[in-house]
Structure 1
Amino acid sequence: MAQPDNTSRSRAFHGPAFGWGAGIGSLGGLIGLGGAEFRLPVLAAIFRFKMLDAIIINLMVSLVTVIFAFLFRIGMTGIAELLPYLWVVANILSGSLIGSWMGVHFATRVNERLLTQVVVVFLVFLSAVLIGHEFIFSGLGLDIPLPVAVVLGFFAGIVIGLFSSMLGVAGGELIIPTILLLYGLDIKVAGSLSLAISIPTILMGLSRYRARQTFGELQQFGGFIGWMAAGSILGALIGALLMVYTPSTALHVLLGIILLISAWKLAMVKLRTPRKAGR
């Protein structure tokens, strides 16, 4: 599918954008993610956006998806169970905002090919974590003294924010394991806390990209972004509804396989084709 390169042509992609948004939003909503790790390969490999443009669009759609996914999840489970863990949100967020600020600096200074290689490696890493999730995180969290957990949570937050703004993801794929490891919380609670942390982290990244005047060329794709965001809202609702019926083990393996395929597809399109494929 060729990249929509002007306003009139982009209208033809509204339907596919909505469909992809709904499907990806459903996957992300199932485990408390914004779906960005699945959406980024679609934007870059199927719609053929340049990697930096795909990252920024991904952050925009992720913001909408994460907000609604959070609202849907607390609507299903209630806000009361999260209130005792707001300190966890503050702990990780204190680092993720710093990391998000730093990530934009890197993403806007490297070339297209290097940025794509970073994304592909990151997707493969996430795939391995998801597929081996039960083995890696069985018996966790760790029995870490609270002061140590707070310090580690801050530095983990920096890494999370760095990858969030640099790769256009909400960061949940790193936040959830961090919460499981350091604080030993239930995975469904961790998923909701992850969404709460992701919202300000994404806002920081978008504000930094805007300050660097990287939004100008994306104005013509406002309709495309809007339709994908609308589909993502529907998908987030579907994911929240299905969350209570889906076995966690099977879900992580399925999503890991999808990510691995996505990484392969992205590498084939972006790293083995002439540069003219980009905009």
Structure 2
Amino acid sequence: MRKNKLASFGSGAVIGALGGLIGLGGAEFRLPLLIGPFGFAALEAVILNKAISLVVVASALPFRAGTVPLSELAAHWDIILNLLAGSLLGAWFGAGWAIRLKTETFYKVIAVLLLAIALLLLFAHNPANSSLPPLSGMAQVVAGIVAGFGIGVVASLLGVAGGELLIPTLVLLFGADIKLAGSLSLAVSLPTMLTGFARYSTDRSFAVLGRNRDFVLAMAAGSLFGAFLGGQLLGMIPAAVLLPLLAVILVISAIKVWRHG
């Protein structure tokens, strides 16, 4: 399947569409696919997932500029820097831990994190619109750094953008509007992912990108197309149906990845 460009593009499109329907890049669903049908080892799959996720995230930010202008993002620079203070460090440490983990252990870690994200989709991804932040001042800053660190670690370990964690954090901790939170999430994700990517580049497994360049390009193109398509279909499927369905997919994927290890 790795050499079949149509399979790479098509699977990327399906995963991208699933992510687009809930406002994410789909990396959480792409990772089990890379480990399962495409047969990549855990660390190689994470590195490939991060490379494809980078393309999707870098494209999504300007795509959303019509809804949330970049000037509005700039007006919330303090929130972005607050989360980055923790997420950049978390991304570096997370990638370092991933490189040192035994393969069998890494599969178990991935499975547990996928299960945790499934629970987040059910209980935290669709919070009510903006509310008053529960913390303020230095307490909020410290909480933002701690949350950012944890998000950076998870993003590096799974090769994801971390939007499923960032968006609830931005809404619940900082009281951001859900649409603004989506764009702020991308602004935090991009440098966080680049940091993890730089750390992974020091490991020999990073060569998987060069060996599978055509595969990466085809799946990235499919992911972009799917994310765009999913965004256009947004609203056609009620969140009350969609989120539990996607959560079930993640739980099944987590079980398969656990057994894979």
State yes or no: 1:185 paired with 2:176: yes
- Counterpart of 1:212 in structure 2 is 203
Write out aligned runs for 1:119-138 (5 A).
119-133=110-124, 137=127
State yes or no: 1:103 paired with 2:94: yes
State yes or no: 1:157 paired with 2:153: no
Question: 1:142: how far off?
Answer: 4.1
Q: How many residues align structurally?
A: 260
Question: 1:191: how far off?
Answer: 1.5
- Counterpart of 2:52 in structure 1 is 61
- Counterpart of 2:106 in structure 1 is 115
SS state at 1:147 partner: helix
Question: 1:243: how far off?
Answer: 3.6
Please say if residues 130 and 253 of structure 1, whose CA atoms lie closer than 8 Å, have aligned partners that are also in contact.
yes
- Counterpart of 1:24 in structure 2 is 15
- Counterpart of 2:29 in structure 1 is 38
Deviation track 1:104-134 (CA, whole Å, cap 9, x = no partner) reads 1111111111101011111111111212237
Q: Which sits farther off after the overlay, 187-196 or 74-83? A: 74-83
Letter in 1 for 2:90: G
Alpha-carbon distance between aligned partners in 2 of 1:83 and 1:153, rounded to the nearest angstrom: 18
- Counterpart of 1:11 in structure 2 is 3
Question: 1:57: how far off?
Answer: 0.2
Write out aligned runs for 1:237-256 (5 A).
237-243=228-234, 247-256=238-247
Question: 1:250: how far off?
Answer: 3.7
Letter in 2 for 1:174: L
Letter in 1 for 2:3: R
Letter in 1 for 2:144: G
TM-score between the two structures when normalised by the length of structure 2: 0.90
- Counterpart of 1:84 in structure 2 is 75
Going from structure 1 to structure 2, the CA distance change for 1:185 and 1:246 (only over 3 Å counts) comes to: farther
Letter in 2 for 1:144: L
Gap regions ≥5 residues in structure 2:
none
1:258 to 249, 255, 260: 249
1:148 to 124, 128, 139: 139
SS state at 1:117 partner: helix
SS state at 1:108 partner: helix
Please say if residues 141 and 180 of structure 1, whose CA atoms lie closer than 8 Å, have aligned partners that are also in contact.
no
Alpha-carbon distance between aligned partners in 1 of 2:104 and 2:248, rounded to the nearest angstrom: 24
Alpha-carbon distance between aligned partners in 2 of 1:39 and 1:222, rounded to the nearest angstrom: 17
Alpha-carbon distance between aligned partners in 1 of 2:236 and 2:69, rounded to the nearest angstrom: 18
Please say if residues 180 and 186 of structure 1, whose CA atoms lie closer than 8 Å, have aligned partners that are also in contact.
yes
Question: 1:263: how far off?
Answer: 1.5
Alpha-carbon distance between aligned partners in 1 of 2:147 and 2:175, rounded to the nearest angstrom: 15
Letter in 1 for 2:149: I
Letter in 1 for 2:122: I
- Counterpart of 1:277 in structure 2 is none
Alpha-carbon distance between aligned partners in 2 of 1:225 and 1:58, rounded to the nearest angstrom: 9
Please say if residues 68 and 183 of structure 2, whose CA atoms lie closer than 8 Å, have aligned partners that are also in contact.
no
Going from structure 1 to structure 2, the CA distance change for 1:40 and 1:76 (only over 3 Å counts) comes to: same
Letter in 1 for 2:221: A
Identity of aligned residues (%): 43
Going from structure 1 to structure 2, the CA distance change for 1:241 and 1:85 (only over 3 Å counts) comes to: farther
State yes or no: 1:225 paired with 2:251: no
SS state at 2:3 partner: helix
Going from structure 1 to structure 2, the CA distance change for 1:82 and 1:27 (only over 3 Å counts) comes to: farther
